[in-house]
Amino acid sequence: MAVQISPSILSADFSRLAEEAKAVQGADWLHVDVMDNHFVPNLTLGVPVVESLSRATDTPLDCHLMIEQPDRWAPAYVEAGAGSVTFHAEAAAAPVRLAREIRAKGARASMALKPATPIEPYEDLLPELDMLLVMTVEPGFGGQAFLDIMLPKIRRTRELISRHGLEMWLQVDGGVSADTIERCAEAGADVFVAGSAVYGADDPAAAVRALRRQAEE
């Protein structure tokens, strides 16, 4: 399991996105939180911004769609240049069809679970996905406290992935920091989203390196 770090630009300065993307040189992905003010009570950015960002950075984009009707909108994010597209299980009408469409268009397909959504009903869908995202806060805002009560779900998800012999990645998002990343790694996560812990630091690239070291320990 190789550790990957995906800094979330939600905590960056939106008026300087291109520079902020370059400030995390060495990160594996750039996590782009798309919010529609319906699925979550916050509004961020959409397809045109993702298109511009993908031209502005060589770091692949990890688009996390916190939107209603992802079946309708997710393919446009692949076309806009995303390397990975995550839709929410709670919002997708046809997750298998959607995951296949994302893959067919050339991106990695990923599904996210809000804290109250269990993994077990989705066990048989895992082979259709390249990554599963276990939210460790209620989606909508950066800077929230990590929910320790999600650790058992991370552990159970890793067990299911192993039991099925799958190569898929397990991402955690929300409150991931120097204080919590080791617990996440120990529970079986291998892709770590960090917003405030990276962009709140004086040196975001150094924060990425420090998080990676901690997760690898």
End-to-end CA distance of the chain: 12
The smaller minimum CB distance to Zn ion, of residues 64 and 153, is found at 64
Q: Is 43 exposed, middle or buried (0-12, 13-18, 19+ CB in 10 A)?
A: exposed
CA dist list (Å): 188 to 1, 145, 179, 194, 216? 9, 20, 16, 17, 11
| Neighbour count for residue 174 (Cβ, 10 Å) | 26
* Cβ–Cβ under 8 Å, residues 195 and 11: yes
Q: Is 34 exposed, middle or buried (0-12, 13-18, 19+ CB in 10 A)?
A: buried
- Kindly state the smallest distance separating residue 214's Cβ from ligand DX5, in Å: 14
The reply to whether 114 sits near Zn ion by the rule CB under 5 A is: no
81 belongs to an annotated ligand binding site = no
* Size of site (CB under 5 A) for Zn ion: 3
- 173 included as an active-site residue: yes
Residues 151-210 that bind Zn ion (CB under 5 A): 173
Which partner, Zn ion, ligand DX5, none, binds residue 176 by CB below 5 to 8 Å per kind?
ligand DX5
Q: Using CB under 5 A, pick the residue from 64, 88, 153, 212 that binds Zn ion.
A: 64
Please give the Cα distance from 164 to 132 (Å, whole number): 14
The smaller minimum CB distance to ligand DX5, of residues 11 and 157, is found at 11
Which partner, ligand DX5, Zn ion, none, binds residue 195 by CB below 5 to 8 Å per kind?
ligand DX5
- 33 included as an active-site residue: yes
11 belongs to an annotated ligand binding site = no
**Which residue in the shown chain puts its C-beta closest to Zn ion?**
64
Spatial neighbors of 164 by CB under 8 A, at least 6 apart, are: 123, 126, 127
Contact flags string 29-48 toward Zn ion, x per CB under 5 A: ----x---------------
- Kindly state the smallest distance separating residue 191's Cβ from Zn ion, in Å: 11
Of the residues 33, 62, 130, 190, only one is catalytic, namely: 33
Diameter over CA atoms, the chain:
45
Query: Which positions lie near ligand DX5, rule CB under 6 A?
Result: 8, 10-11, 31, 33, 64, 137, 139-144, 173-176, 193-197
Instruction: Tell me which residue of 40, 147, 131 sits closest to 90, measured CA to CA.
Output: 40
- Kindly state the smallest distance separating residue 16's Cβ from ligand DX5, in Å: 17
**In the block, which residue shows the tokens 């594996």?**
28
Q: Site residues (CB under 5 A) for Zn ion? A: 33, 64, 173
Residues with a catalytic annotation lie at 33, 173
Annotated binding site for a divalent metal cation: 31, 33, 64, 173
